[in-house]
Structure 1
């Protein structure tokens, strides 16, 4: 059976991809950010992750306000990386596992989530910006991606609790898949940030730290918040944090934080955090004890 071994929360700021493509990993302004991803990439390599399920939002690249779904899942053998105005990136197409994607889609619908299914749609920076920081990509990606888009742009948005429950349903879907796959769930989006209006450039580091602590130890408290609470505390665009709740909902109640990097160099709090799934960690410990005995 497939199993979730961990989860990753990561920013998806488009300039991360631009800086990466321009080779600015050692630039003083960018090095603290890129260095923060190295332990995560190393963990993914050591754990031999087969699949990344990416909760992200499309920034009107493939989905538009005339028909913008609440939840959408990509089902296809490959997805192009979108050209968002700066030209095509030097990245291979994102690979998909159709059998797994279709199984997850069917399982989520049977779990009463009305998913929109998309094919042959390019994936924008919501997913593609952090991806090369997590996985090597030459000559190709080492595994497949399940892209799940969540509406955080056009009201009405799904509630934080609905996103949490989507994550729980995703776990049930993955654990009912018969193939032996090692799955990591990724929640994307910035923490505190606002890029328009009177509060342009707003950040709240204190709230960011509290959110990360609650995400680890008491995520249910976050599910009781309103969208207005996220906006008030972290800025308009920080409502993207509900995608982190979908990620956390896919994990067991107890997780172990392995790494966290927080970098506030621009108008967006850029963060990457890695959690090991508690159930997987317990199983690993039990196996270690059995071997020792």
Structure 2
């Protein structure tokens, strides 16, 4: 059967993608951030996932205020990089896995999660930046990707508990697929940041590091954290961290921490990164 063997968490700051695309990852500003991903790049070469379930949020490119699915799964054959206003990123198209994605949708919807099924989808930096951080700049991405979008842009957003439970439903769906697949799940977004208003540029290192600790060792309680705590302590965009809970819910209760990286700043954002393997 298919099996989720590992999880990855990472921020998906658009400026990171721009630094990669413009070849400035070794300059004084960016080098400390990218060095934190050296381990993951070597690790994933050894792991060789067949499929990545990539949990991310769309930034008003595929979805907007006219259509805001709380949870969506993309079941298409291929997904193009989105034009976010300055042209698509110069990265490969993302190859999907329609049969597996459709199976997951069937299982998860029957498990009482009302996923929106999307067949045609352009993917923005929320999805492509994590791929670049983990795989570099290949001619083609080395595995198939199933995009799973979560609404963290317009309220109401799902609770942390709901996201954590979705992860558990995804694990059940994966393990009921009758094909021998090495599957990873990635949770993206965050960490603390706010892009507008009087608190623009907010970064809360204490909150971020506590979150990095708790998602590894105390995920059950972390899932209960209320939205107001994210907003008050991590900024308006800090709510993206609930997508990490989808990843964590899909893993075993006990995991092995293989890599932890935290860096400030990247643009006006705190960057967090974890590599977790199931015990």
TM range (shorter): over 0.9
Moved over 6 A (4+): none
Does residue 65 (structure 1) correspond to residue 65 (structure 2)? The answer is: yes
Measure the CA separation in 1 of the matches of 2:17 and 2:165.
Answer: 30
Q: Secondary structure at the match of 1:68?
A: coil
State the SS of the aligned residue for 1:194: coil
For 1:233 and 1:165, the matched residues in 2 are separated by: 24
**Structure-1 separation of matches of 2:157 and 2:86:** 29
Residue 79 (str. 1) matches residue 87 (str. 2): no
Aligned to 2:272: 271
How far apart are residue 7 of structure 1 and its match? Answer: 0.4
Separation (CA, whole Å) in 1 of partners of 2:45 and 2:86: 30
Counterpart contact for 1:164–1:249, Cα < 8 Å: yes
* Counterpart contact for 1:16–1:130, Cα < 8 Å: no
Q: Name the counterpart of 2:215.
A: 215
Show the counterpart of 2:22. Answer: 22
1:113-262 aligned at under 5 Å gives the runs 113-262=113-262
CA displacement at 1:137 relative to structure 2: 4.8
Taking the aligned partners of 2:177 and 2:136, their CA distance within structure 1 comes to: 26
CA deviation after TM superposition for structure 1 residue 103, in Å: 0.7
**For 2:202, what is the secondary structure of its paired residue?**
coil
Deviation for aligned residue 1:89: 2.0
TM-score (norm 1): 0.93
Which blocks of at least 5 consecutive residues in structure 1 are unaligned? Answer: 279-293
Gaps of 5+ in 2: none
Deviation at 1:88, TM superposition (A): 2.4
Cα deviation 1:134-171 (Å, max 9, x = unaligned): 12553211110010000111111111100000000000
- Aligned with 2:203: secondary structure? coil
Structure with greater Cα Rg: 1
Q: Distance in 1 between matches of 2:136 and 2:5?
A: 19
Please give the root-mean-square deviation of Cα atoms over the aligned residues, in Å: 1.0
- Matched residue SS, 1:262: strand
Contact 1:74 1:117 in 2 (8 A): yes
CA shift, 1:246, in A, is 0.8
Alpha-carbon distance between aligned partners in 2 of 1:48 and 1:195, rounded to the nearest angstrom: 36
| CA pair 178-36 structure 1, distance change in 2 beyond 3 A | same
